Amino acid sequence: MRNVIIVGSGCAGNTAAIYTARAGLKPLVVSGLEPGGQLSLTTEVENFPGFPETIQGPVLVENMKKQAERFGAEYAQGLVEEADLSRRPFRLRIDGQWEECRTLIIASGASARWLGLPNEQKLIGHGVSSCATCDGFFYRGKKIMVVGGGDSAMEEANFLTRFGEEVAIVHRRDEFRASKIMLERCRANPKIRWITSAVIEDVYDVEKGYVTGVKLRNVKTGETWVREVDGLFLAIGHIPNTKPFVGQIELDADGYIVSHGGARTSVAGVFHAGDVQDRVYRQAITAAGAGCMAAIEAERFLQAGGH
Q: At closest approach, how far in Å is the CB of 190 from ligand NAP?
A: 21
Site for ligand NAP in 138-157 (CB under 6 A): 147-153, 155
CA–CA dist 258, 285 (Å, integer): 20
Q: Select the residue whose beta carbon is closest to ligand NAP and give its number.
A: 150
Site for ligand NAP in 219-258 (CB under 6 A): 235-237
CA–CA dist 3, 102 (Å, integer): 5
Residue 155 or 297: the one with the smaller Cβ distance to ligand NAP is 155
Q: At closest approach, how far in Å is the CB of 179 from ligand NAP?
A: 6
CA–CA dist 176, 178 (Å, integer): 5
Q: At closest approach, how far in Å is the CB of 153 from ligand NAP?
A: 6
Residue 125 or 237: the one with the smaller Cβ distance to ligand NAP is 237
Q: At closest approach, how far in Å is the CB of 97 from ligand NAP?
A: 35
115 binds ligand NAP (CB under 6 A): yes
* Degrees to nearest 5, angle at CA 13 with 12 and 14: 95
Residue 147 or 251: the one with the smaller Cβ distance to ligand NAP is 147
Instruction: Identify the CA nearest to 116 among candidates 57, 202, 196.
Output: 202
Residue 31 or 129: the one with the smaller Cβ distance to ligand NAP is 129
The count of other CB atoms within 10 Å of the CB of residue 241 is 24
Which residues, at least 6 apart from 217, have a Cβ–Cβ distance to it below 8 Å?
198, 199, 201, 223, 224
Site for ligand NAP in 273-292 (CB under 6 A): 279
Residue 77 or 224: the one with the smaller Cβ distance to ligand NAP is 224
Q: DSSP letter for 287, please.
A: H
Q: Which amino acids are annotated catalytic?
A: 131, 134-135
Helix, strand, coil percent content, the chain, rounded in steps of 5:
30, 30, 45
Site for ligand NAP in 158-187 (CB under 6 A): 172-173, 177
CA–CA dist 121, 117 (Å, integer): 6
| Site of interaction with ligand NAP (CB under 6 A) | 113, 115, 147-153, 155, 172-173, 177, 235-237, 279
